[in-house]
Chain A
């Protein structure tokens, strides 16, 4: 059975609504990235140096990153030799499969880690402007839909208007926000929030932090302190530390994952603004070089546009054009 058929069948078991979200959200990514890949695979009659060079450019153009692309191309070269492949069309499913393997990683669970007997604390970190506060708002809504009681901590005491922004989300989704004045110590806010979360015995506490560039030593130390305070109040917390990444970010995302990982023990990623163009690549780059799973993706501006990441959905949406192309060949419906 072909790779795409298997993929399709596995997708069929999932709800249409979610599949459509992925499809819509990624439609622009798909158009730019996949169209170019398809075009290349149909235009070139032979697998040669020029072919590999063009493929390399397309992948780099999608932010997959030089190292990952080089490794990927090398693997493809080996496959071509081993299987004696001559036609580009034979190579196409191999490429898709390799990309998917990379996205899936070592198969750790994609869902949120939760604390079975008490409060689950989720800390959000990231550079400026990636969408931490928005992600928290959307996630709060999502958790409420699942019938959980949620509390939010306004830990961004630095950026003008950040506390108000989180409060606006709080009102929108009906969740209380623990806050102090702008400019106060974020670790103190966390302390208050954890205490309050315990007192109300809520299910989930979502902690916002100020955006910070990963090379600012002092700000990163502040983050480590926030992490310590939460840990001291609830042993084992935060149960998830999610690094929020803007999907338009280039190779610097790897650096972010590395440095935030060192200071705040990042356990997973949230990829936001994935509804723009040409943006599948960075996920592959991060998966290729880090062992961090992508937990959520932001696929639009609506409140319900934050979705759990699903490698299968992602590749299916990304390669919908290709799969359709193969379908028409194998099954003349």
Chain B
């Protein structure tokens, strides 16, 4: 997932700071030089990096840090807060017009993913019981209209188009008119990709803007964009007065510097992030959670939210409690494995767990969905008592379980060993999630312990 490389580098830097009882100004300076390089390598705009480092430094050499018993932690905490701030502080929601329909204009460079996003956004709105109308105003790219029509068909949303011979401004106007007549409460206008320096096309989108007075102007930005992201955002902002940004292709292995830069430059919040090729893979963007993911502290909140969306509430609460108190049996394990699978691709879920980014980058670590089915078979071949008390599983039981599940005794052994490891790990998480141990301290501790184990494998 995105930011992985950045996370690994930052963890290295902070690892060096953590153990220290005292931090001199030089120590902080040294760490900040490395943070600077890490951010630059991640494509964060160099101007943004400069300001960011200056801010963190100013706070980090202050009295509070020097007096603290764990100055390293305080520095990490400062970085965490500043990162959150850099990405916009709090989550920003999609605008809603007082008098429907709400008009959303999508703009961006070629290939950023506007058309796909239009479909995804419509799908998201539908799931909130809205009735979006899609307007195909990209008359330049061959088959762009067709693409939007196919997407509209997939999700059952109407698509308005006038072919490629009509001016996009006119298309947008008529689309809006149609939405009013039909009673659609959202109008999503897909526009052609354009370079921010292409004056003719920039004027065209300005004209569309003036004709429909959008309530929301979203800039679609490819998360892999380099230093250029800032120029793009700035130019579009000057022309169109953006109200928000959407990051696409965030499921790649980009270090995602664009995410950190665009907010700083335009002041526009990142409203959504697109995390996969499927039409429902669009998520609201939470700066605080993203910051903690970047720092390798995981994102249990999103994980639990995902669980809540896919699992009934009681079970989610139970799961959270069990994960927290680490009192969970193979039976729960099986039960939850099925639930977890509903939540989405495993590797994405893993990213939300503290320290998992690092684990994933260990050589030989692979998330294998088929392995889950095998694990399931093994657990299902156990008796009720065995599931509750894995300690009683002796060799002859292992042999029976292996035969019953079509695996080998070695597979069963591995699962049991991994289950033990997992329980230990959950105990460590409890320090992070329990009321007392909240904040980076607990997380860092858990991470340190986990990393100490080196080649440990995730139980699945």
Given the known inter-chain contacts A66-B41, A162-B143, A273-B195, please indicate yes or no for A248 contacting B225, CB distance below 8 A.
yes
Instruction: Choose from B196, B227, B232, B251 the contact partner of A250 (Cβ within 8 Å).
Output: B227
Closest to A128 in B: B249
Additional A-B contact list (8), CB under 8 Å, known A128-B111, A160-B115, A213-B253: A63-B43, A128-B113, A164-B146, A215-B253, A246-B224, A248-B226, A250-B228, A250-B257
Task: Name which of B37, B149, B224 has the most chain A CB atoms within 10 A of its CB.
Answer: B224
User: Which A residues are CB-close (under 8 A) to B111?
Assistant: 128-131, 246, 273
Closest to A279 in B: B228
Given the known inter-chain contacts A129-B110, A131-B111, A275-B195, please indicate yes or no for A248 contacting B252, CB distance below 8 A.
no
Pairs A–B under 8 Å by Cβ, sample size 27: A28-B197, A63-B227, A67-B41, A129-B249, A130-B111, A131-B110, A159-B147, A160-B119, A160-B148, A160-B150, A165-B144, A165-B147, A168-B142, A214-B253, A216-B251, A248-B222, A249-B225, A250-B229, A251-B255, A252-B252, A252-B255, A253-B224, A255-B254, A273-B109, A275-B195, A276-B228, A278-B231
Q: Which of A250-288 contact B (CB under 8 A)?
A: 250-253, 255, 273, 275-279, 281-282
Q: Which of A8-46 contact B (CB under 8 A)?
A: 28, 32
Closest to B119 in A: A160
In whole angstroms, what is the CA distance A48 to B254 when docked?
A: 34
Q: Is B99 part of the contact surface with A, judged by Cβ < 8 Å?
A: no
Q: Is B258 part of the contact surface with A, judged by Cβ < 8 Å?
A: yes
Interface segment, one of A54-62, A93-101, A192-200, A230-238: A54-62
In whole angstroms, what is the CA distance A217 to B252 when docked?
A: 11
In whole angstroms, what is the CA distance A273 to B227 when docked?
A: 15
User: Which B residues are CB-close (under 8 A) to A131?
Assistant: 110-111
User: Which A residues are CB-close (under 8 A) to B197?
Assistant: 28, 276-277
Given the known inter-chain contacts A160-B150, A160-B151, A276-B195, please indicate yes or no for A127 contacting B249, CB distance below 8 A.
yes
In whole angstroms, what is the CA distance A217 to B253 when docked?
A: 12
Q: Is B460 part of the contact surface with A, judged by Cβ < 8 Å?
A: no
User: Which A residues are CB-close (under 8 A) to B10?
Assistant: none
* Minimum C-beta distance from A71 to chain B (A): 14
Contact between B142 and A165, CB atoms less than 8 A apart? yes
Contact between A213 and B251, CB atoms less than 8 A apart? yes
Band of interface residues on A = 35 or more
Contact between B253 and A248, CB atoms less than 8 A apart? no
In whole angstroms, what is the CA distance A160 to B41 when docked?
A: 34
Q: Which are the 8 A-B pairs with shortest beta-carbon distances?
A: A250-B226, A161-B147, A129-B111, A168-B142, A250-B43, A160-B150, A164-B143, A165-B143
In whole angstroms, what is the CA distance A105 to B351 when docked?
A: 38
Q: Is B453 part of the contact surface with A, judged by Cβ < 8 Å?
A: no
In whole angstroms, what is the CA distance A163 to B147 when docked?
A: 10
Q: How many residues of B contact A (CB 8 A)?
A: 50
Contact between B253 and A252, CB atoms less than 8 A apart? yes
* Minimum C-beta distance from A122 to chain B (A): 20
In whole angstroms, what is the CA distance A62 to B46 when docked?
A: 10
List the interface of chain A (C-beta within 8 A of B).
28, 32, 57, 60-63, 65-67, 127-131, 134, 137, 158-165, 167-169, 172, 182, 213-217, 246, 248-253, 255, 273, 275-279, 281-282, 301
Q: Which of B128-148 contact A (CB under 8 A)?
A: 140-148
Given the known inter-chain contacts A129-B112, A130-B111, A255-B253, please indicate yes or no for A277 contacting B43, CB distance below 8 A.
no
User: Which A residues are CB-close (under 8 A) to B150?
Assistant: 160-161, 182
Contact between A282 and B226, CB atoms less than 8 A apart? yes
User: Which B residues are CB-close (under 8 A) to A213?
Assistant: 249, 251-253
User: Which A residues are CB-close (under 8 A) to B154?
Assistant: 160
User: Which A residues are CB-close (under 8 A) to B40?
Assistant: 60, 66
Q: Which of B103-118 contact A (CB under 8 A)?
A: 109-113, 115-116
User: Which A residues are CB-close (under 8 A) to B338?
Assistant: none
Instruction: Choose from B113, B149, B366 the contact partner of A129 (Cβ within 8 Å).
Output: B113
In whole angstroms, what is the CA distance A168 to B148 when docked?
A: 16
Instruction: Choose from A163, A164, A169, A251 the contact partner of B226 (Cβ within 8 Å).
Output: A251
In whole angstroms, what is the CA distance A278 to B197 when docked?
A: 11
Given the known inter-chain contacts A159-B147, A161-B144, A164-B143, please indicate yes or no for A252 contacting B224, CB distance below 8 A.
yes
User: Which B residues are CB-close (under 8 A) to A275?
Assistant: 195
Closest to B256 in A: A252
Closest to A67 in B: B41
Contact between B277 and A161, CB atoms less than 8 A apart? no
* Minimum C-beta distance from B38 to chain A (A): 9
Contact between B46 and A57, CB atoms less than 8 A apart? yes
Q: Is B262 part of the contact surface with A, judged by Cβ < 8 Å?
A: no
Given the known inter-chain contacts A63-B226, A251-B42, please indicate yes or no for A160 contacting B146, CB distance below 8 A.
yes
* Minimum C-beta distance from A66 to chain B (A): 5
Contact between B224 and A127, CB atoms less than 8 A apart? yes
User: Which A residues are CB-close (under 8 A) to B149?
Assistant: 161
Contact between A62 and B227, CB atoms less than 8 A apart? yes
* Minimum C-beta distance from A262 to chain B (A): 13
Closest to A259 in B: B253
* Minimum C-beta distance from B13 to chain A (A): 15
Contact between B222 and A251, CB atoms less than 8 A apart? no
Contact between B231 and A246, CB atoms less than 8 A apart? no
Given the known inter-chain contacts A63-B226, A66-B40, A128-B111, please indicate yes or no for A277 contacting B231, CB distance below 8 A.
yes
